[in-house]
Amino acid sequence: MDEKTFQADDVIADKKERLAHVDDDGVTFKSHLDGSLHRFTPEVSMQVQHQLGADIIFAFDECTTLHNTRKYQEKALERTRLWAKRCLTEHDRLTQARGNKPYQALFGVLQGAQYEDLRRKAAQDLGSMSEDGISFDGFGIGGALDKQTLGQILRWVNEELPEKKPRHFLGIGEPDDLFVGVENGADTFDCVAPSRQARTGSVFTKDGRLNISNAPHKREFKPIEDDCTCYTCKNYTRAYLCHLFRSKEMLASTLATIHNQHFIVGLVDQMRSSINDGNFFEFKAEFMGRYYGR
């Protein structure tokens, strides 16, 4: 499993009471549960992720938005660079103290928003960073991303990063974005989209998403997809899932999530096979034409 880093914008909202305050040392944030104050630093982030035992962990970073000024993007990028160095040092200390426990891979996070020079600088800085001989095991590309420039940003950073280290595209889960990521050099992805959409009854099919709670599915005594091999499709009908959602049963979102995650993992498996077979672009055109009706 992987554990995405706590990012500095996770509890900051514009035009609302600020729950978090960022400084060069870390982030102080207020609990949304009881209002208590808590402090996160790069060292604390590493300690928490090590305790979780995740196989892949991420360096503490400040995630900006496309609305931040160029000046603030530069400031946040430098802050993230300094935090990354501290994360490497603490990660090494914790790794040495873990004895014979499995190794946890640490990925650096590349910020820089929509600016080519900042994205390239982030890739150069973190790609060459080494503390006491310890460097990042891979890199996460995330932060302020615009759907129309995903591929371009990936190409920028891939031209600067070490060739043999994995690239993880943060927060990417829509099928068309997965194709863009694979096409431009991303190796792995994470996103809450399959489970988030499942909670509202939205399920993936080869012909696009459908809302299983809608009335037409009340009498459809067939699986979400006939050829799907997931647990949900092998054991439950659309009609039963529709009933669960309309009855507000907890099982509804669980079964829908199982299907959606199976669909996305299967899609990426198909992408890999198409690359091996030399027909990736043909597969992409076929899938996109059916899923999006293009």
Nearest to 178 by CA among 288, 88, 72, 64: 288
Q: What domain count does the chain have?
A: 2
Predicted local confidence at residue 11, as pLDDT: 44
Using alpha carbons, select from 261, 262, 267, 256 the residue that is nearest to residue 291.
Answer: 267
Give the integer Cα–Cα distance in Å for 257 and 198.
5
Encoded tokens for 42: 């790069």
H or E segment to which residue 105 belongs: strand 105-110
- Domain encompassing residue 205: 195-291
Residue 145's pLDDT is what?
87
160 and 267 fall within a common domain:
no
Q: Determine if residue 260 is left, alpha or beta; phi over 0 gives left, psi from -120 to 50 gives alpha, anything else beta.
A: alpha
Question: Do 151 and 234 reside in the same domain of the chain?
Answer: no
pLDDT at residue 294, as a whole number:
63
Residues 272 and 219 in one domain: yes
Instruction: Report pLDDT digits (tens) over 213-222.
Output: 999 999 999 9
Domain edge (last residue) among 145, 160, 191:
191
Provide the pLDDT for residue 17. 56
Same structural domain, 117 and 208: no
Same domain, yes or no: 76 and 181: yes
Q: Same domain for 178 and 228?
A: no
- What pTM did the predictor assign? 0.86
Instruction: Give pLDDT, residue 113.
Output: 94
Domain end: 191, 217, 238, which one?
191
Q: Are residues 106 and 236 in the same domain?
A: no
Burial of 78 per CB tally in 10 Å (0-12, 13-18, 19+):
middle
Weakly modelled stretches of the chain, pLDDT under 70: 1-18, 294
Task: Check whether residue 182 and residue 250 sit in a common domain.
Answer: no
Give the C-alpha distances (Å, rounded to integers) separating 226 from 47, 237, 270. Answer: 46, 10, 18
CATH number at residue 118: 3.20.20.105
Can you tell me the distance from the alpha carbon of 4 to that of 14, in angstroms, rounded to the nearest whole number? Answer: 23
Q: How far apart are CA 101 and CA 84, in angstroms?
A: 23
Same domain, 40 and 65: yes
Same domain, 155 and 20: yes
- 40 and 104 assigned to the same domain: yes
Tokens representing 10 are 């996770």
In this structure, are residues 158 and 184 in contact, taking their beta carbons and an 8 Å threshold?
Answer: yes
- Joined together, the tokens standing for residue 247 give 């009855």
Q: How far is CA 251 from CA 6, 178, 224, 231, in A?
A: 29, 28, 16, 13
Long-range contacts of 261-266 (CB under 8 A, 24+ apart): 261/194, 261/195, 262/228, 262/229, 262/230, 262/231, 262/232, 263/194, 263/203, 263/204, 263/205, 263/228, 263/230, 264/173, 264/175, 264/178, 264/194, 264/204
What pLDDT, on a 0 to 100 scale, did the predictor assign at position 293?
Answer: 87
Q: Which of 174, 191, 208 is the last residue of a domain?
A: 191
124 and 240 inside one domain: no
